Amino acid sequence: MSARINPSILSADFVNFERDFNSISNADLIHVDVMDNHFVPNLTFGLPMVARMQQITPKPLDIHLMIESPDRWAPGYAEAGAFSVTFHAEAAESPVKLARTLRSIGARAGLAIKPGTAIDSYLEVLAEFDQILVMTVEPGFGGQSLIEDTLSKVAAVRRKVDAEKLDVWLQVDGGIDETNIERVANLGADTFVAGSAVFKAEDRQAQIDNLRSLAASGIAHRH
């Protein structure tokens, strides 16, 4: 199993996306946080901007929808060519049905869980998703510190994925940096969203390589 590093462009320069995308060209995917100022208290960008991003980078886009009514809006991102579309369990009316719709369009379907949301009821339907995103901070703002209590959910998802031999990526998002990525990987994550940890680095590509190496070490030493 390899480690994937998906820099979050929430930490990028919003008027220089093309330049900033080029500065992270060794990333596995580009993580795009779509916020509607309703589900979370912040506003970023919507479908037209995401469609344009798709045109200026060869990298696959990993869309994270922090929005209300994803059942209505998420399919549009899949239709625009997004590689992966993740929506929130707390906002979706019918998570499994929406995941199946996204997959039928051709995107990977992801389910995101906020720090205060229990994972148990979703463990039984993991196979319906291509990715589970355990939020390790409250969604809505970049630059936050990782919430330790969320890591038990990472371990729980990993146990279920391994026990059933599922092809499900386990993503973490929030406060991930070089001080904790190896430990979080060791607990079960394989896909890592890093925002400020990447974009604040003087050499972003070197930092991505460093994070990937640390995560790979954590994965290699799992028990």
How many residues can be counted in the chain?
Answer: 223
173 is catalytic: yes
Quote the DSSP letter at residue 60: P
d(CA 12, CA 101): 31
- Going by C-beta distance under 8 Å and a sequence separation of 6 or more, which residues neighbour residue 115? 135, 136, 137, 138, 147, 149, 150
Helix/strand/coil for 184: helix
Of these residues, 33, 36, 62, 177, which one is catalytic? 33
If you search the block for the tokens 């930490």, which residue do you land on? 11
Sign of torsion over alpha carbons 141, 128, 46, 49:
positive
Give the active site residue among 20, 28, 36, 173: 173
Active site residues: 33, 173
